[in-house]
């Protein structure tokens, strides 16, 4: 379900019209998150660490309203729920696109996501995911402890979906950290909202 946002009464009306004119309206930040507790929990309970932190990220994004905004034509719609569309790495070095329906309950989310993950890993090609505006583009680069990241973009394709990428976990002095890159459409949100995401995401990882 979705509802229309009244741009004329929106406090960010001017910001929307200003940034929505840009050829590249996305901005990005890269932050190291503490995943010590999350990794320990995933190992203890036999969870997929990737699915565990992906779910935590989606909990945070679904809780922060601007992450559920999407631009369609000249209008902004607010989705009730957004779902992750992650890249799934294969043993042969390729990857495929997947689509996981978001569920607030992690075990429900993981059970379905594991089935889809296996399907993608046993296939070839990109495996086009379910298309839609209410997705978050997600990727994992578990080989790279990156400090910045950019994305391939087709500027002729109007896209307003957030993009989040997770890097290599490293451990020092008993603390495990992981770089997380977030790119969002500046017509829909600002650095304040990106900060809210990382704060809430960290709380979820620590819970």
Residues with catalytic roles: 186
Cα–Cα distance for residue pair 47/152, rounded to 1 Å: 31
Cα–Cα distance for residue pair 146/135, rounded to 1 Å: 24
């Amino acid at each position: 379900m979705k509802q229309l946002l009244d741009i004329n009464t929106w406090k960010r009306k001017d910001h929307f019209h200003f940034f929505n004119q840009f050829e590249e309206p996305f901005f990005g930040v890269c932050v190291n998150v503490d995943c010590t507790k999350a990794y320990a929990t995933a190992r203890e309970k036999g969870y997929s660490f990737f699915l565990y932190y992906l779910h935590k990220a989606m909990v945070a994004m679904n809780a922060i309203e601007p992450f559920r905004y999407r631009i369609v034509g000249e209008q902004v719609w607010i989705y009730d729920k957004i779902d992750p569309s992650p890249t799934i790495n294969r043993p042969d070095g390729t990857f495929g696109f997947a689509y996981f329906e978001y569920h607030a309950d992690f075990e429900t989310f993981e059970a379905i996501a594991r089935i889809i993950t296996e399907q993608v890993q046993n296939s070839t090609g990109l495996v086009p995911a379910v298309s839609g505006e209410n997705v978050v583009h997600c990727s994992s680069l578990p080989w790279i402890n990156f400090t910045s990241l950019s994305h391939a973009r087709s500027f002729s394709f109007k896209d307003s979906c957030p993009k989040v990428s997770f890097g290599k976990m490293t451990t020092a002095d008993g603390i495990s950290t992981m770089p997380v890159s977030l790119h969002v459409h500046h017509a829909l949100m600002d650095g304040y909202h990106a900060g809210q995401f990382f704060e809430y995401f960290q709380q979820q990882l620590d819970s």
